[in-house]
Amino acid sequence: MSRPNVIFPGATTTGGGGGGADDSQRLNYGDGTELSDTTNKISQGSTADEIVMRIDSGQAAGSGGVDGMIGGMVWDLGSDITGPICLQFTWVSKQNLTNVCVVVLRATSAPTSLADIDGNTSTRILQLRTSNAGGVSTYIKRGNANLATTNSENKSSSTGATFQAAIDAKGIGGCVSRHHYTSGVNTTIRTDANDTQTTSGNVYAAMLFSAAALSLAT
């Protein structure tokens, strides 16, 4: 898998000082490409594989589709895919009032903005939304559909989720997700049976995030 393309305010992959003059403060991809941070919002996590992206207080909460989110990473999976894409997301820690979206799409060129992902009809989205009490709810969305703002599952014991999208030579869809949590029934399964005809381009996977507006719905 290639290194991801970062979509985040102030971040580039052109090098030139990702965090400061000290090499230990610079963040690099596995291939050595430096991730430059012009806004001091990106830092090395607790391990070499962890990247921390800070959401500042006052940044706009995600509204409407994924083009209203804050940022994320996009991986190019190549064009030679004629079977299901299976992605697994595991929480390291849960932050109250955040949206995390795991995304699969097919496109003739790599997405370089959230609008590119939102505007692609092949886009399939698993949204994980945390409530103000840390409960996690999941939803499957397509294309430019609005993100959910309610807390349908609201599972504070959420450990993560898996997302699968079927792909063949004619298109993409349907999709299924499994939300795993350690208390209660332990799994919520969601499905989407819609098909999008698309026959060319590479397949991309993305992880996007944003703040989530407060909702008292349960």
Find the radius of gyration of the CA atoms of the chain.
17
Mean pLDDT of 160-178: 95
Range among 37-41, 75-79, 111-115, 135-139 with highest mean pLDDT value: 135-139
Q: Which pLDDT value is given to residue 81?
A: 86
21 pLDDT above the threshold of 60: no
Which residues on adjacent β-strands are paired with residue 209? Answer: 71, 100
| Domain range summary for the chain, segments of one domain joined by + | 1-54, 58-211
Question: Which region holds residue 157: left if phi is over 0, alpha if psi is between -120 and 50, else beta?
Answer: alpha
Torsion angle of alpha carbons 194, 196, 199, 205, nearest 10°? Answer: -80
Report the range of poorest mean pLDDT among 18-27, 118-127, 173-182. Answer: 18-27
Residue 68 three-state SS: helix
CA 60, 65, 66: angle at the middle one, nearest 5? 70
Q: Cα separation of 109 and 196, whole Å?
A: 18
pTM score of the predicted model: 0.83
Report helix, strand or coil for 116: helix
